[in-house]
Amino acid sequence: MNLKVVVIGQGYVGLPLSVAVAKYGFNVVGIDTDFSKVEQLNHGVSTNEDVASKDLEELIKSRSYRATSSYLEIEDADIIVICVPTPLKKDRSPDLSMLERATKSFSIYLKQGSLIILESTVSPGTTRNFLLPLIEKISGLAREDFYLGFSPERIDPSNKIWRIHNTPKVVSGLTDKALIKIKDFYSKFIDSIIECSSLEVAELSKLLENTFRFINISFVNELSILCTKLGIDVNDVIKTAATKPYGYMPFYPSIGVGGHCIPVDPLYLSNKAREIGAPTRFIDLADQINQETPGYFVGRAEEKIGGLKGKKVLVIGVSYKPNVADVRETPAEALILGLRNKGAEVFWHDDLVKEWNDEKSVALSNVYDLAIIATPHAYLDLTKLGDVPILNTRGSI
């Protein structure tokens, strides 16, 4: 296939997308500003749990994929997909700085007739009111000279059932022609395409998906506190409620939410709501509960072993979800900080993460006063803890 696709950002979204597109037969170039990551990828070493190194090696050998840090690749690109992070600032407001830098970098080399698709999560109106004028300004092209659309990523790391090809893909375009081109592109390697009536509908649908999860997870975390006080296992309650075949969806307790979506997207939505004077009380309350949950388990830990000062505590699992190495927005960080503020000597174990915050994972053993299960990876062998007391943040009573 002659078309050249450039995917900007080779992280948890961009790399799996690049591989899926390259497997179909497009000529794919992945751009990333991390030089060490680019070098690894070009040697066939995957930096993502959902991409096998052998698949990467085969695509590199067939010249279907390569990585670079140079935006010169945009000069002859037919399709540009933007998959850069859009995290939160320290004040928990949207941070579009990486999107802005990437857009300025590729727009210099943009050719007439290119298709540009934003997959990064943004507030409604961002593609039309932020991205479009920035592209026009830097490229010198009029909006009629290129095609622009938004298609929110739907990547669930470590999910073995729902992958890129079988997860319905939401698409939208600035114009009808752009929408047709975007639909044609994704339909080549994705089974089901969902067309939206506007860019804003697609942008807001992404925020709704994860805000729904955010609110319900925060609610279940609050319910878990109630169950603990009642001496009831919250997981038994959830399992029983889930036998209802309609009108219910199970969510499970934890020390909070993490990752690149659930703790971030709702705040993009609430920030936009504040801009236009709309209420978001559910989101604000859920965020408060989520922020307070690690502190609740610090208190549980104090109660369990009669105080934390001078005690050796092991936190098990520091990534934001089981069976991945991603530590973005992980609530384990707040848990560890809270324990240390109470005078505990805190260590952590996570063989997937290995190194984090200038610290290294320690082995599971029986030398601790307390072990706290924060993220239960499948590989864990808790028998190595011996008779160490365990606090399970996933629903212990």
Residue 130: HSE in the Cβ half-sphere, 13 Å Cα cutoff: 19
Distance CA 273, CA 193 (A): 29
Bridge partners of residue 171, in order along the sequence: 195
Residue 386, sorted as left (phi over 0), alpha (psi -120 to 50) or beta, turns out to be: left
Q: Do residues 105 and 73 lie in contact, with contact meaning Cβ atoms separated by under 8 Å?
A: no
Distance CA 9, CA 28 (A): 12
Beta-strand relationship, 79-82 and 147-150: unpaired
Q: Do residues 46 and 15 lie in contact, with contact meaning Cβ atoms separated by under 8 Å?
A: yes
Distance CA 24, CA 55 (A): 13
Bridge partners of residue 390, in order along the sequence: 371
Distance CA 363, CA 114 (A): 51
Reference 11, options 343, 291, 192, 260; nearest CA is 260
The residue count for the chain: 397
Q: Which strand ranges, in their side-by-side order, compose the sheet holding 312-316?
A: 345-349, 312-316, 370-373, 390-392
261 catalytically annotated:
yes
Residue 260: HSE in the Cβ half-sphere, 13 Å Cα cutoff: 18
Distance CA 388, CA 350 (A): 18
Cα dihedral sign for 291, 293, 294, 298? positive
Catalytic residue among 83, 196, 227, 261: 261
393, two tokens: 């943040």
Distance CA 383, CA 224 (A): 25
Q: Do residues 91 and 63 lie in contact, with contact meaning Cβ atoms separated by under 8 Å?
A: no
Contact partners, residue 164, CB within 8 Å, separation at least 6 = 16, 17, 20, 155, 189, 190
Task: Indicate which residues carry an active-site annotation.
Answer: 261
